[in-house]
Amino acid sequence: MKKNKLIFLMMLSAFLFAAQNCGDDEKALTEDDVNEEIVTSCHGCHSEDSEIGMKILAAQAGYDNSGHKNGPRGWIELTDVVYDASGTLQAGDTTLETLFHGSNAAYTNATPCSNCHTHNGFVERVKAGQMIEKAETDTKEIVVGAPAPIGCFTCHEPHKNGNFSLRTTNAVTLLVDDTVTFDRGLGNLCVHCHQSRTAASSVDTTFATPATPSGHWGPHHGPQGDFLMGANGYEFTGKTYSTNDVHYDAKGDSPANSCVNCHRYTDTNTNGDRYNSNLETGNHGMYLTANVHGSMTDRVDVCWSQCHSTDIPDPKPRTAKFTDVKKPATADWDGDGTTETILKETQGLADKLYTYFIDPANFAGTNVGACNTAPVAGPIATSGISTKWRLGWDFQAMKNDWDATASTGTEECVMTKAQAGAFWNFKYYTEDHSGGVHFPTYAAQLLYDSLEAVGDTTIGATRP
């Protein structure tokens, strides 16, 4: 008995010694991912009152308000009475709301969705070095009993690396074109998932003859990597398109970290930053638009501090918008009679294309009246999902309305190839979620050519 007790005490002492020194010689990184501070014990991170521990808590708070944890946000049309920023009662306002209210990991627990939508799947994908696709002979199905959502350890491996460096920063070959490589440092991790899963060339094959698009047809929700490089929009024959916008190069870093320079922007409490931010924006929230203290706010201070100090005189007011960045268009592209900023002209083109696609008179089919549908019930009481958001992002829900009489064999909203190409570009622009910021000229060219292709005669005479 004494011998067993002695062995137990020796083992306990060894364990406590190891626990006290488990972090020896390990390097922990701050929010800039390059901190040289040495963490001398596990408590360097696993203590809420240590400097690193506090930064981890801040990162956790940002993550808790991010799309990585909560799923995507969408524009919600408020049909009940609300107060606007000035305290005035206002009806019919819009706001950004999380649509899934929690991780979508269980819903996406299947190959190939799990490659990006679950922690388990993404880790396996990085290990494999490529997308793991479902096939009849595939023995690597990424389905687990309890799928974990995207979280801290999805992007970081601190217990293996001894620091908070990223799980991978390898260059990424785009899924839809193996001749195109995205290589922008820390931003490479993002583009492992933030890219299109379908090629724009599918327009030519799927709509060789007029057809109705499937509910899942299109770029698939997050084509930001493609968009930054000016790749995979539907490019109409005989047109030339811009490639590699300055936002892909992002400040000219070596290597440029692209996505991270803006979406992981860290507040410095200068130039009014704290008045433009909340836990959704910057750091690990990563959004650049949010409801801050009652006002829908664009983080124009990020643009101001990075590149556009001469284009944004005062970034402090929460009323400033990305569309106000003073980069004038070369002409009146959208044909409204005024030459505005690049982003305002681009938004004008997108609005015209949206108007075209909700008009049932523009489509063939035996029940074309169903093309023009009202918003379905939304995820918050007495409110509805924006029709524009549904058309561009959640097309499956809108198609369900279009096909309401499918049981009788009718087809609705049949599109020609030109219409399908234009619809692809509208979805591509919408699902990028930057309003054209990621590549303004490319966005404007795609939207302008799309309107021209479907016969719009109201656009400006000069192409972007």
More confident site: 19 or 106: 106
More confident site: 352 or 381: 352
Q: What is the model's pLDDT at position 316? A: 63
- The answer to whether the CB of 386 falls within 8 A of the CB of 75 is yes
Give the highest mean pLDDT range of 152-156, 247-251, 282-286, 287-291. Answer: 152-156
> Per-residue pLDDT for 381 more than 70?
no
> How far is it, in rounded angstroms, from Cα 364 to Cα 207?
14
Q: What is the model's pLDDT at position 380? A: 27
Give the highest mean pLDDT range of 68-77, 94-103, 264-273, 443-452. Answer: 443-452
- The answer to whether the CB of 321 falls within 8 A of the CB of 298 is yes
> Per-residue pLDDT for 29 more than 50?
no
What's the DSSP call for residue 320?
-
- Confidence band for 402, pLDDT divided at 50, 70 and 90: very low
Sign of CA dihedral 417, 421, 427, 430: negative
Q: What is the model's pLDDT at position 278? A: 81
- The answer to whether the CB of 195 falls within 8 A of the CB of 223 is yes
Of 95-109, 181-195, 299-313, 329-343, the range with the lowest mean pLDDT is 95-109
Q: Which residues contact 38 (CB under 8 A, 6 or more apart)?
A: 25, 26, 27, 28
Q: What is the model's pLDDT at position 43? A: 66
Q: What is the model's pLDDT at position 391? A: 55
Query: Where are the chain's structural domains?
Result: 2-67, 177-464
> Per-residue pLDDT for 97 more than 70?
no
> Per-residue pLDDT for 119 more than 60?
yes
Q: Angle at the Cα of 54 (from 49 to 58), degrees rounded to 5? A: 150
- Confidence band for 452, pLDDT divided at 50, 70 and 90: very high
Give the highest mean pLDDT range of 65-74, 192-201, 318-327, 443-452. Answer: 443-452
> How far is it, in rounded angstroms, from Cα 193 to Cα 117?
9
Q: What is the model's pLDDT at position 196? A: 93
> Per-residue pLDDT for 388 more than 60?
no
Supply 276's token pair. 């433009």
- Mean pLDDT rounded to a whole number for the chain: 74
More confident site: 312 or 122: 122
More confident site: 419 or 77: 419
The 10s digit of each residue's pLDDT in 345-355 is 998 998 898 88
- Confidence band for 134, pLDDT divided at 50, 70 and 90: low
Q: Which residues contact 411 (CB under 8 A, 6 or more apart)?
A: 212, 365, 366, 367
Average pLDDT on 245-260 reads 70
Q: What is the model's pLDDT at position 94? A: 58
- The answer to whether the CB of 366 falls within 8 A of the CB of 410 is yes
Q: What is the model's pLDDT at position 34? A: 33
- Confidence band for 172, pLDDT divided at 50, 70 and 90: very high
- Confidence band for 104, pLDDT divided at 50, 70 and 90: confident
> How distant is the alpha carbon of residue 264 from its chain centre?
13
Sign of CA dihedral 31, 255, 123, 43: negative
What percentage of the chain exceeds 90 in pLDDT? 24
Average pLDDT on 318-329 reads 79
E-assigned strand segments in 243-370:
289-292, 295-298
Give the highest mean pLDDT range of 76-85, 261-270, 430-439. Answer: 430-439
> Per-residue pLDDT for 387 more than 60?
no
Of 83-97, 201-215, 281-295, 405-419, the range with the lowest mean pLDDT is 83-97
Q: What is the model's pLDDT at position 413? A: 67
The rounded radius of gyration (Å) of the Cα atoms in the chain is 25
Q: Angle at the Cα of 198 (from 109 to 282), degrees rounded to 5? A: 70
Q: What is the model's pLDDT at position 312? A: 72
Q: What is the model's pLDDT at position 189? A: 94
More confident site: 408 or 68: 68
The 10s digit of each residue's pLDDT in 210-220 is 887 776 788 88
Average pLDDT on 366-394 reads 41
